Structure 1
Amino acid sequence: MRRARFIAAAGTAVTAGVIAIALPLPQASAAATGSATGYASVNGGTTGGSGGTTVQASTGTQIHQALCSRASSSTPITIEVQGTINHGNTTKVSGDSCNTAADKIELKDVSNVTIVGVGSGAVFDQLGIHLRNASNIIIQNVTVRNVKKSGSPTSNGGDAIGMETDVHNVWVDHATLLASGGESEGYDGLFDMKDNTQYVTLSYSILRNSGRGGLIGSSDSDLANGPVTFHHNWYENIDSRTPLLRGATAHIYNNFYYSLNESGINARAGGKAKVDNNYFQNSKDVLGTFYTDLPGYWQVSGNTFDNVTWSAAGDENNPAGPNPVSNTTVSIPYSYALDSASCVPAIVRATAGSGTGLKTSTGTCSTTSPTATSSPTSSPTSSPTSSPTSSPTSSPSGTNLSLASGAGADGSSKASGTSYGNVRDGDLSTYWSPSGTTGDISIKWGSATTVSRVNLREVTSGVIGSYQILNGATGAVLKSGTGAGTITFAATSTTKITFRISSASGTPKVAEFETYAA
């Protein structure tokens, strides 16, 4: 068994003395930013402490005091946290509106709470965050590190963030969850849900250097959990459980998985995972049912497997690869936008974790800040924009580079009776169609060619819906929009231009894929 390479544990600072009231902090910013996504957005939604009082805290005791000072356990409150929270400054506080403990941040028997890191940040050092019998909770922009279940000090059963016993509607966003080893070093899961924990979203977060990423269901009989959404998270140097999914439904999209050492998404005991447009790199057995003969299921689409190895199937080992295919379908009740898997590493590196400015993805391979200004994270020189600029029935002026000597065509799939080469033969009576309603078609050259404009000519206009133009050599998105026709973008030197059809009203029929330098 291959062990992860873990960094040394950080030291624990101990603050002398404890202040049992919530005090204002300098440079404290506004409350949680954005709205809950994924499954946390349904079942009534997740708003946390919105509409309630905002207080500041710089110790664990002050966090507990803020909870206990409310009129009731459901009175909305936002707690802005700055500094390092640890065992030395976290004591139990009692009151009618709270139920706290000294060895963890305890959100027990409460609802309508937001905990958000502000200023220079909030670090929970060797001290976990525990939710129990809690609902409508937001945790944003925090770091939780090196929480242990054995050794000293211990906290929260070794979970960085743990939820159990009738918990619902929780949004954890832009968090950094770190360990420095596996179970033998005293650590457990980074993000665990069990005993009727439902409607949870983990987004734009980092999970790193742990034996266990997290689980949904504490055993193969604990099946009343989920659904859960995981999107735009960065898993790195994790042995297994990204997540371990027992009997629950999970939507897992646009995550970046790097160095999963033993196994990754482990659907078992009837668990179902919808796995869309993720990027898996330098990892082993990233999807399947592992360490049990109780099967799980998956629906896969648009994922990239980069240097992924797969073990052989066995009685208690059913990897989805080396060529993962769907064995179930999962219906998603909320709207979402998918980044192409090719740009996921860059997008996630720019947005995930605490202290990253709460940037999010636009769903078009670029990022946006809370002030709504966008910043592309990959190589295109302009952000994706929408709409073609002219009719699909005519060709622009200039030389069609698709017909140049040495040009070729390929794609992701082709329907029976169609050919990739039909899009560059100058004949409008021949065409290419994908095997379904979505797919890629590319023009390629033997040497670098500068392109700034393409023209997609449909046999029947108006069938193609949303699209992306990609630099096929790098995967960078050059433009996004809807419909076919003439599409312009920043001049790009490449050996391949790809037109990706993301949605269509029927089966697309592309007669010609014309490319132009200007």
Structure 2
Amino acid sequence: MRRPVALRLHAALATLALAAATGAFLVMPEEASAATGGATGYATQNGGTTGGAGGQTVRATTGTAIHAALCGRASSSTPITIEVEGTINHGNTSKVSGGSCSTADGVIELKQISNVTIVGVGSGAVFDQLGIHIRDSRNIIIQNVTVRNVKKSGSPTSNGGDAIGMESNVRNVWVDHVTLEASGGESEGYDGLFDMKDNTQYVTLSYSVLRNSGRGGLIGSSESDTSNGYVTFHHNMYENIDSRAPLLRGGIAHIYNNHYVSLNESGINSRAGARAKVDNNYFKDSKDVLGTFYTDAAGYWQVSGNIFDNVTWSAPGSENKPAGPDPQSNTTVSIPYSYSLDGAACVPDIVRQTAGANKGLRVSDGNCTPQTPSPTPTPTRTPTTSPTPTPTASNPTPGPSQPSGTNLSIGAGSDGSSKADGTSYGNVRDGNMSTYWSPAGSTGSVSIKWGSATTVSKINIREASGSAGAIGSWRVLNADTGAVLTTGSGAGVISFPRTSLQKITFEITGSSGTPRVAEFETYAG
């Protein structure tokens, strides 16, 4: 860390938390309260994110009590809202056993569960040197808490050094009005503040503060971990961060109305085919705030409305490609949800008033004016047993049902990685179920391509007669950029956010027999 900054948390807690505990967002504990307002960004997609809405509400003042609340549910998917007050630390966080949970000592473990809200109330909730770990879970809300000084080395350690970490088939997480902070970088024992890896999708981080850390956070743990994506970052404050604000490896991110101050080495690092839509952010007193850094695996960005205030840029090299000093778009990203943009000039003030824990959950009205949301419960989500997912873009419903609209593959071109004897790439776009393409082995890819940009949001993979069920795991790629649009298993209808591209690839990464794709249909909607 170039500029370690002392943490200043307690001075304002008493007064600010009082506002947060009043009618601004909290109802009486015995009522089935939900987190205030509703999810935003990509967390609204894939069925939405409602957390524990409609379920029981309990109060917890220790980490053990949080685990006990999870373990006391009827099932791992029974909705629950856990209101947290006080300091959660190693001394009061123990493993609790039960059929509806899988917990561990020294970390808040949200593992193989669904439909949970954790919200700070009363005089505030501080997770001190203790991380929150989300694994194999879905439909999670974390709101109005502080997580600080989580270490991966030294003593004590928790959650691999991540303040909030998500991994292994996580879906639909909304993290809102939180403060995530460290007291140094990797050499001092800390890792990331907000990390996502191993197939984590549909996440929003909003109105939060990330500060005093070597690493802000990442999407993807390595250049090969590109199954993550569809993440929104908005109205957050990144302050005194060395790098990873965030680091993107593959996937799509929407980054708007954030305030960045003192990014010491690099900021938004888009690489390995990632695509970032970067709108109306304010960057101040920082270096290399956008680009591809520390790799030759290129990433992409679409920029508009940003302000670069005293930002310096490095000279480009083989493994450093700054977007500046005059950042220009090199891709386009289609956003599937509605949102309102504050003007970049007012972002510092609006973020100062709204971002972080114990701010009364204030939000922007989209016109640079903060407001306190009403305590309107979000709709009840029909529980689903985790980790078995409901049909989604990444786990489609197999079957012969036809999407509506025109099959855009008819009349298009096609190619692929390999083909078995007697098969053809063109067979997947001829409208004939009796012809097909097979890879030369058990895995391979086939693509549909057009002469100009074409908008696609849905494909239908139809297996030839006698081969149903042979297709195992797969990825759908934007072949123009290499970005992963979605992943899953089994043939059928597959949906993903609307994307404009000239070539789309269906890549079979696992199979239980000889894959035979009779038709690779593509649709605009």
Whether 1:204 and 2:203 are equivalent positions in the alignment is no
Q: Secondary structure at the match of 2:353?
A: helix
Q: Which residue of 2 aligns with 1:335?
A: 338
Cα deviation 1:124-147 (Å, max 9, x = unaligned): 000000000000000000000000
Q: How does 1:49-448 map to 2 (within 5 A)?
A: 49-371=52-374
Deviation at 1:225, TM superposition (A): 0.1
Deviation at 1:3, TM superposition (A): 2.1
Distance 1:51 1:27, change over 3 A: closer
- Per mean C-alpha deviation after superposition, the further-off stretch among 120-129 and 28-37 is 28-37
In 2, the alpha carbon distance for the partners of 1:53 and 1:10 equals 31
Q: Which residue of 2 aligns with 1:487?
A: none
- Per mean C-alpha deviation after superposition, the further-off stretch among 27-36 and 241-250 is 27-36
Q: Secondary structure at the match of 2:67?
A: helix
In 1, the alpha carbon distance for the partners of 2:45 and 2:365 equals 21
Q: Which residue of 2 aligns with 1:7?
A: 6
Distance 1:147 1:5, change over 3 A: same
Q: Secondary structure at the match of 2:136?
A: strand
In 2, the alpha carbon distance for the partners of 1:124 and 1:28 equals 25
Kindly indicate whether the alpha-carbon contact (under 8 Å) linking 1:213 and 1:243 is maintained by their aligned counterparts in 2. Answer: yes
Cα deviation 1:76-119 (Å, max 9, x = unaligned): 00000000000000000000000000110000000000000001
Cα deviation 1:307-326 (Å, max 9, x = unaligned): 00000000000000000000
In 2, the alpha carbon distance for the partners of 1:6 and 1:267 equals 27
In 2, the alpha carbon distance for the partners of 1:300 and 1:96 equals 48
Kindly indicate whether the alpha-carbon contact (under 8 Å) linking 1:257 and 1:280 is maintained by their aligned counterparts in 2. Answer: yes
Kindly indicate whether the alpha-carbon contact (under 8 Å) linking 2:254 and 2:277 is maintained by their aligned counterparts in 1. Answer: yes
Q: Secondary structure at the match of 1:213?
A: strand
Q: Which residue of 2 aligns with 1:419?
A: none
In 2, the alpha carbon distance for the partners of 1:298 and 1:169 equals 24
Q: Which runs of 5+ in 1 are unaligned?
A: 12-23, 373-518
Distance 1:52 1:6, change over 3 A: same
Q: Which residue of 1 aligns with 2:424?
A: none
Aligned length in residues: 359
Q: Secondary structure at the match of 1:63?
A: helix
Cα deviation 1:376-423 (Å, max 9, x = unaligned): xxxxxxxxxxxxxxxxxxxxxxxxxxxxxxxxxxxxxxxxxxxxxxxx
Post-superposition, which runs of at least 4 consecutive aligned residues in structure 1 deviate over 4 A? 8-11, 24-30
Kindly indicate whether the alpha-carbon contact (under 8 Å) linking 1:246 and 1:269 is maintained by their aligned counterparts in 2. Answer: yes
Percent of aligned positions with the same letter in both sequences? Answer: 76
Distance 1:117 1:9, change over 3 A: closer
Kindly indicate whether the alpha-carbon contact (under 8 Å) linking 1:192 and 1:215 is maintained by their aligned counterparts in 2. Answer: yes
Distance 1:54 1:26, change over 3 A: closer
Computing the radius of gyration from Cα coordinates, the structure with the larger value is 1
Kindly indicate whether the alpha-carbon contact (under 8 Å) linking 1:271 and 1:297 is maintained by their aligned counterparts in 2. Answer: yes
Distance 1:145 1:86, change over 3 A: same
Q: Secondary structure at the match of 2:69?
A: helix
Q: Which residue of 2 aligns with 1:468?
A: none
Q: Secondary structure at the match of 1:350?
A: helix
Deviation at 1:248, TM superposition (A): 1.4
In 2, the alpha carbon distance for the partners of 1:357 and 1:269 equals 38
* One-letter amino acid of the counterpart of residue 130, structure 1: H
In 1, the alpha carbon distance for the partners of 2:283 and 2:339 equals 21
Deviation at 1:31, TM superposition (A): 3.1
Deviation at 1:288, TM superposition (A): 0.1
Deviation at 1:8, TM superposition (A): 6.3
Cα deviation 1:38-75 (Å, max 9, x = unaligned): 00001000000000000010000000000000000000
Deviation at 1:367, TM superposition (A): 1.0
Deviation at 1:370, TM superposition (A): 1.6
In 1, the alpha carbon distance for the partners of 2:334 and 2:171 equals 20
In 1, the alpha carbon distance for the partners of 2:186 and 2:110 equals 25
Deviation at 1:371, TM superposition (A): 3.4
Q: Secondary structure at the match of 1:239?
A: strand
Distance 1:47 1:29, change over 3 A: closer
In 2, the alpha carbon distance for the partners of 1:157 and 1:308 equals 32
Kindly indicate whether the alpha-carbon contact (under 8 Å) linking 1:27 and 1:119 is maintained by their aligned counterparts in 2. Answer: no
In 1, the alpha carbon distance for the partners of 2:284 and 2:30 equals 39
Kindly indicate whether the alpha-carbon contact (under 8 Å) linking 2:231 and 2:252 is maintained by their aligned counterparts in 1. Answer: yes
Answer 1 or 2: higher relative contact order, Cα 8 Å, separation at least 6: 2
Q: Secondary structure at the match of 1:48?
A: coil
Distance 1:348 1:72, change over 3 A: same
Distance 1:359 1:28, change over 3 A: farther
* One-letter amino acid of the counterpart of residue 372, structure 2: S
- TM superposition score normalised by structure 2: 0.67
Q: Which residue of 2 aligns with 1:495?
A: none
Q: Which residue of 1 aligns with 2:494?
A: none
In 2, the alpha carbon distance for the partners of 1:94 and 1:135 equals 20
In 1, the alpha carbon distance for the partners of 2:48 and 2:8 equals 37
Kindly indicate whether the alpha-carbon contact (under 8 Å) linking 1:249 and 1:272 is maintained by their aligned counterparts in 2. Answer: yes
Kindly indicate whether the alpha-carbon contact (under 8 Å) linking 1:10 and 1:146 is maintained by their aligned counterparts in 2. Answer: no
Kindly indicate whether the alpha-carbon contact (under 8 Å) linking 2:262 and 2:284 is maintained by their aligned counterparts in 1. Answer: yes
- TM superposition score normalised by structure 1: 0.68
